[in-house]
Amino acid sequence: MDSPHSEPAAVITRVAEHHWHALSADRVVGRAEASRRPDGRLFLSIDTWHTDDFARLASAMLPALPRPLYTVVDEADDGLKSCWERAGFKTRRREFEYVVATAPATVPPGVTIGPAADQDLLRSLDDVVRAEVEASAGWSSMPAEVLPRPAVLDLAKYVVASEAGHYVGLVRLGPVRRQTRIGLIAVRADHQRRGIGRSLLTHVLDSLHRRGIESVSFEVDEGNATAIALVQGFGARRMGSTVELVVR
């Protein structure tokens, strides 16, 4: 993002309920948007080349929207992060992005890994995982995309670990952006430290490997030491990080 420019000050116009434009000589030189995520939170984006236009757009949109407000930025983009911070935003959470190569699988005895096939069993496991996360780090610490739960879970997005007729662990494949991505890995607390999480990830990497997919990406919260150790154990390479910012 460039430093302030010498052109006439842009005029900010609200063009829709959640959209603003910065206009200079009848040209659109900046855009701002507020979008509501499935969990109900409002996430903001501002697209402009100049810091002064960014500040004008932020000054126009922030008072018009209900707090709290959120945004996500690449931590390497110091200019953009600084613009949001000058607008009053503070870091709420940080995620490290990893990429790991796919590989053939190994599965320990006593555990069956495969696609989710039972809506009730998956929902029961999801209930347990959400309660356990809420009792520890808090479910609000999860990425926005995994916070809400639809009325019907999409079984095609899940790989599960089964034992004694129950689902005890899961992997959820997230929306594809630049490449195939894992959105969530979770194992029931009373079944942890037995290698189930590793088996789930191994199974998924093997499945993707067989489909000719060379690597997969995923984000890990900086405070989740267990997940970081798991992915690093697979030789994952850290590619970058993002920060979620909030103004209250």
Residue 56: pLDDT over 70: yes
CA dist., res. 10 & res. 97, Å (int): 36
Residue with more model confidence, 192 or 6? 192
Which pLDDT tens digit goes with each residue over 62-98?
Answer: 999 999 999 999 999 999 999 999 999 999 989 999 8
Nearest to 92 by CA among 44, 143, 134: 143
Tell me if domain 11-88 and domain 98-241 are identical in fold: yes
This prediction's pTM: 0.69
CA dist., res. 167 & res. 127, Å (int): 11
Which pLDDT tens digit goes with each residue over 123-172?
Answer: 999 888 888 877 776 666 666 555 556 777 888 889 999 998 999 999 98
Structure tokens at 93: 């959470």
- Helix or strand (DSSP H, E) at 122: helix 119-135
Question: For domain 11-88, is the CATH number 3.40.630.30?
Answer: yes
CA dist., res. 53 & res. 84, Å (int): 13
Residue with more model confidence, 227 or 240? 240
User: What is the domain class of 98-241 according to CATH?
Assistant: alpha beta
61: confidence class by pLDDT, cuts 50, 70, 90: very high
CA dist., res. 238 & res. 169, Å (int): 25
pLDDT of residue 89: 97
Nearest to 62 by CA among 21, 18, 23: 18
For the chain, the domains span: 11-88, 98-241
CA dist., res. 110 & res. 100, Å (int): 26
